[in-house]
Amino acid sequence: MNRFLLLFLLAIASFQLNVLAQQKILHEAVERAEKEGFSGVILVAENGKILFEDAMGMRTYENRILLHEDDTFELASLSKQFTAMMIMMCEEKGLLAFDDQAAKYIETPYPGITIRHLLTHTSGLPDYQAIMDAHWDKSKVAGNQEILEYLREYAPVKSFEPGEQYEYSNTGYVLLASIVEKATGKDFVELMREWIFQPLKMKSTDIRSLAEKAEVQTFAAGHLKNKEGHYVNANTFHSSDYTVWLGNRKGPGRVSSNVEDLLKWDQALYSNTLVSEETLEEAFTPFKLTNERRSYYGFGWEIEPKSPFGKMVMHTGDNPGYKTIIVRFIEENKTIIILNNNAHPDMMRLVEAATLSLGKW
């Protein structure tokens, strides 16, 4: 996600809030997006009440099955907020501490990295996907164990010393999931179901294998255009689709859900259902780098202290065929969730329109 692009859109929203017509803003944006081929679901809520919800496009283009509002999407990197929550829950249970060394739990060739560095993308770890892409047999499916083995075997040079700067790191979130498993002695997927999805009654939410996804009739497949310009299932591009040959990884992605389950998750974060208010505040606090500058990424959330509606936390996701976003204006309990399954470029236009509309309901 380009944070500066979102801030630009929010600045526009702040400027225009008092001059644009009420809900017409969002309705027109949705109509335009649908005409331009956007496929996805959008939800806008305030205080947990749904103000606007709509589905457009196709669940599967091959069978011409229309999307529905309760369809399930791959969340991609939105999954990181759930991984971060698992770490926070472990911390509150006394199973680990945010400033523990990662090496206390898992073997890596990179000393000096703490759990806090992993959470905030300030570890300097190299990209595991590049190593796996170069060396992994893509006819097989890799998970965290294989990823960690390849990092130890090839030990690519880290980008910087821990805490020096921010650099988005999927590798860090692979390590976090493995740390949860080491600290609890339990499988990360099963534990996430037990600790988060089931208590919050997120019935459409899970970490699913390819076979499990195929069993979900309401699963919205990710689509990309082929050489002829037609949308086809993104899994068709097997060698370039890391979600297939890295299909057993845990931590940086792989949670699938729908907009209404994500609203349950959003609302649970206003209570002490999962962790205390004090712990959650840490998640929404910028990280201070070693040069005293601040990095505006907390524990699984990008942070903007000032927006048209006060403090905002958000995250995007991007997998082959999918683009996703959740925006939370936490001081006013306003929420925008958009899940897209044809990698369409119009998503940020919808975020802008939804933000504008929130000031006029």
What are the chain's domains?
3-358 (3.40.710.10)
Question: What local confidence, expressed as pLDDT, does residue 110 receive?
Answer: 95
Residue 17, pLDDT above cutoff 50: no
Type of residue found at 223: H
Whole-number Cα distances in Å, 197 to 82, 210, 243: 10, 19, 22
Question: What local confidence, expressed as pLDDT, does residue 211 receive?
Answer: 87
Question: What local confidence, expressed as pLDDT, does residue 210 receive?
Answer: 83
The set of catalytic residues is 77
- Per-residue pLDDT band for 240 (boundaries 50, 70, 90) equals low
- Per-residue pLDDT band for 7 (boundaries 50, 70, 90) equals low
Residue 1, pLDDT above cutoff 80: no
CA 312 to chain CA centroid, nearest Å: 15
What tens digit of pLDDT does each residue of 316-339 get? 999 999 999 999 999 999 999 999
Compute the half-sphere exposure of residue 222: CA atoms within 13 Å on the CB side of its CA: 26
Question: What local confidence, expressed as pLDDT, does residue 360 receive?
Answer: 58
Distance, CA of 81 to CA of 122 (rounded, Å): 16
| Mean pLDDT on 86-112 | 97
79 vs 247, higher pLDDT: 79
Question: What local confidence, expressed as pLDDT, does residue 19 receive?
Answer: 41
Token pair, residue 196, equals 């988060």
Cβ atoms of 6 and 348 within 8 Å: the answer is yes
Residues, the chain, total?
Answer: 361
Residue 9, pLDDT above cutoff 70: no
| Mean pLDDT on 57-66 | 94
- Per-residue pLDDT band for 281 (boundaries 50, 70, 90) equals very high
At which residue do the structure tokens 């990092």 appear? 151
| Mean pLDDT on 269-281 | 95
In this prediction the pTM is 0.92
Question: What local confidence, expressed as pLDDT, does residue 249 receive?
Answer: 93
| Mean pLDDT on 232-250 | 78
- Per-residue pLDDT band for 138 (boundaries 50, 70, 90) equals confident
Instruction: List the one residue out of 301, 8, 328 whose CA is nearest residue 168.
Output: 301
